[in-house]
């Protein structure tokens, strides 16, 4: 019998609805089963075939020894006493998404290592967005490009900024740190994909990884570690598009730029922005990195932004999204 996730509850309708929700909203790489006869749990889903047991309080009282299932999520009901040893629990009548989130966390933390990238996933394409000048909508461009790419292919956004403010900016819950994932890519590659799946947060059509917690964390990552992290994303996850929100503070910055098959540089139409962009080009030339400039594409922002741009948020506004779509369409026409 294939190892999988089993939902055990005496209420058949609840168990079936929860399973249907899991199928519709999760991508567990295993089977899902329902057991509505707790007395037969060992027969329907033996411990050796159960990766995660989700069991209600009422059903647990009818199972001889739930502890033979080491990976469990206990669904509490009312004020009844919790069986001894049940440390991981959530209220049975919480929202299905809350139950799914708890189950997903346990599965990815304690479940099997995910397999290497499937042959069905295309090669990972890396898009880098960078600007040497502030105020050029660099992050807005990166997020919007990622959202557009996510409409067609599985896409991931990674910020290399030290103070991104992403969670507050987008109103999403980002747990952990990008530094944790860099560590897993180097020291525990078999668990890397599971940790990416655990920490990635969905925003519209785009998955977003948590950023660094500080510039100290960002500066602690070496060039070789960044390269290993990108290799691991390409070899061990199912993402087909990666958008890097770049900063020169990252070690091995030029090496990161060279990994980008698409490199966009939003260009502000001010004297200060133009001076910084020219200085960036001079630095590349001085350090023998003219090849980076030759493959980069500067995106001049309109000199006078429309009222729609001013009134809408950069990440979701129709006017700004339309502008990014135009840049992508023009690039595709040329290639």
How far out from the chain centre does Cα 146 lie?
Answer: 12
Residue 319 pLDDT grade (very low, low, confident, very high; cuts 50, 70, 90): confident
28: pLDDT strictly greater than 70: no
Q: What is the pLDDT of residues 69-93, one digit of tens each?
A: 988 999 998 765 555 555 689 999 9
**Average pLDDT over the chain, rounded to whole?**
87
Between 301 and 157, the more confident residue is 157
Residue 205 pLDDT grade (very low, low, confident, very high; cuts 50, 70, 90): very high
Report the C-alpha gap between 10 and 128 in whole angstroms. 52
Mean pLDDT computed over 4-8: 92
* Structure confidence at residue 86 (pLDDT): 56
The structure tokens listed for 168 are: 């507050």
Residue 158 pLDDT grade (very low, low, confident, very high; cuts 50, 70, 90): very high
Q: What is the pLDDT of residues 125-154, one digit of tens each?
A: 999 999 999 888 999 999 999 999 999 999
* Structure confidence at residue 225 (pLDDT): 96
- Classify residue 279: in a domain, yes or no: yes
* Structure confidence at residue 226 (pLDDT): 97
Q: What is the pLDDT of residues 11-26, one digit of tens each?
A: 999 999 999 988 877 6
Residue 181 pLDDT grade (very low, low, confident, very high; cuts 50, 70, 90): very high
Q: What is the pLDDT of residues 43-75, one digit of tens each?
A: 999 999 898 999 999 999 898 888 889 889 999
Mean pLDDT computed over 248-275: 94
Between 195 and 9, the more confident residue is 9
Mean pLDDT computed over 209-224: 93
Residue 198 pLDDT grade (very low, low, confident, very high; cuts 50, 70, 90): confident
Instruction: Check whether residue 134 and residue 59 sit in a common domain.
Output: no
What's the chain's Rg over C-alpha atoms?
24
Between 278 and 318, the more confident residue is 278
| CATH number for position 10 | 3.40.50.10850
Range of the domain at 293: 125-334
Residue 112 pLDDT grade (very low, low, confident, very high; cuts 50, 70, 90): low
Instruction: Check whether residue 89 and residue 182 sit in a common domain.
Output: no
- Classify residue 36: in a domain, yes or no: yes
Instruction: Check whether residue 61 and residue 89 sit in a common domain.
Output: yes
Instruction: Check whether residue 310 and residue 209 sit in a common domain.
Output: yes
Chosen domain end from 85, 110, 135: 110
- Classify residue 94: in a domain, yes or no: yes
Chosen domain end from 49, 81, 110: 110
- Classify residue 119: in a domain, yes or no: no
* Structure confidence at residue 105 (pLDDT): 77
121: pLDDT strictly greater than 70: no
Domain count, the chain: 2
Chosen domain end from 64, 82, 110: 110
Instruction: Check whether residue 133 and residue 70 sit in a common domain.
Output: no
pTM, rounded to two decimals: 0.72
- Classify residue 118: in a domain, yes or no: no
Percent of the chain with pLDDT over 90: 58
Instruction: Check whether residue 78 and residue 226 sit in a common domain.
Output: no
- Classify residue 246: in a domain, yes or no: yes
39: pLDDT strictly greater than 80: yes
Instruction: Check whether residue 147 and residue 246 sit in a common domain.
Output: yes
| CATH number for position 193 | 3.40.50.300
- Classify residue 202: in a domain, yes or no: yes
Instruction: Check whether residue 251 and residue 205 sit in a common domain.
Output: yes
Instruction: Check whether residue 326 and residue 191 sit in a common domain.
Output: yes
Torsion-angle region of 135 (φ positive above 0: left; ψ -120 to 50: alpha; else: beta): left
Instruction: Check whether residue 77 and residue 130 sit in a common domain.
Output: no
Mean pLDDT computed over 117-121: 55
- Classify residue 38: in a domain, yes or no: yes
Instruction: Check whether residue 79 and residue 182 sit in a common domain.
Output: no
268: pLDDT strictly greater than 90: no
The structure tokens listed for 267 are: 């260009």
Instruction: Check whether residue 77 and residue 161 sit in a common domain.
Output: no
* Structure confidence at residue 312 (pLDDT): 58
């Amino acid at each position: 019998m294939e190892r999988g996730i089993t939902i055990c509850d005496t209420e058949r309708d609840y168990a079936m609805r929860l399973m249907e929700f899991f199928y519709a909203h999760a991508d567990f790489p295993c089977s899902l089963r329902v057991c509505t006869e707790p007395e037969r749990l060992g027969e329907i889903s033996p411990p050796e075939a159960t990766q995660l047991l989700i069991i209600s309080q009422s059903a647990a009282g009818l199972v001889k020894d739930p502890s033979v299932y080491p990976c469990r999520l206990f669904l509490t009901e009312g004020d009844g006493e919790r069986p001894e040893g049940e440390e991981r629990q959530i209220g049975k009548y919480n929202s299905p998404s809350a139950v799914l989130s708890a189950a997903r966390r346990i599965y990815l933390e304690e479940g099997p290592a995910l397999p290497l990238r499937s042959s069905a996933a295309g090669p990972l394409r890396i898009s880098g967005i960078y600007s040497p000048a502030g105020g050029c909508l660099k992050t807005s461009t990166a997020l919007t490009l990622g959202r557009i790419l996510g409409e067609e292919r599985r896409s991931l956004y990674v910020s290399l900024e030290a103070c991104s403010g992403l969670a507050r900016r987008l109103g999403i819950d980002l747990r952990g740190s990008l530094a944790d994932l860099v560590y897993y890519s180097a020291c525990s590659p078999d668990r890397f994909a599971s940790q990416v799946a655990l920490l990635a947060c969905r925003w519209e059509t785009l998955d977003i990884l948590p950023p660094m917690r500080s510039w100290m964390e960002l500066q602690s990552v070496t060039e070789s570690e960044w390269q290993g992290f990108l290799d691991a994303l390409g070899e061990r996850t199912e993402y087909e598009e990666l958008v890097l929100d770049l900063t020169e503070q990252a070690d091995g910055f030029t090496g990161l730029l060279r990994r980008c098959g698409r490199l966009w540089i939003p260009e502000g139409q001010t004297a200060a922005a133009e001076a910084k962009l020219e200085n960036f080009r001079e630095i590349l030339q001085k350090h023998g990195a003219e090849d980076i400039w030759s493959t980069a594409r500067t995106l001049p922002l309109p000199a006078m932004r429309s009222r729609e741009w001013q009134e809408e948020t950069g990440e979701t506004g129709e006017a700004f999204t339309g502008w990014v779509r135009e840049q992508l369409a023009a690039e595709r026409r040329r290639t």
